[in-house]
Amino acid sequence: MQGVVILDCDLISSFAKINRIDLLEKLFPDAQLVITASVYNELLKTKEYGFDFLDEIIQLNFGNYILIQ
């Protein structure tokens, strides 16, 4: 059975700042990584303030392993 890991803004931002979003998939290889719409909106606000470390997350469009629910 596959588990679910719900990511918050602080966690995903921390990995984005060091340009290692890929580590989330390695840390949770059997889990479905999920962010909520409110976390996504908070990430977008950070982008509006000029922080570009979130570009990788936004460009991924949350790919195959991060879903917006």
Lowest mean pLDDT among 5-14, 21-30, 55-64: 55-64
CB distance 33 to 23 below 8 Å: no
> Residue 68: which of 45, 40, 49, 26 has the closest Cα?
40
pTM of the shown model? 0.72
Q: Burial level of 57, CB count in 10 A (0-12/13-18/19+)?
A: buried
Partners of 31 in beta bridges? 3
pLDDT (tens digit, 9 = 90+) per residue, 19-44?
888 898 899 888 888 888 888 888 88
DSSP class of 28: S
Tokens 């580590």 correspond to 23
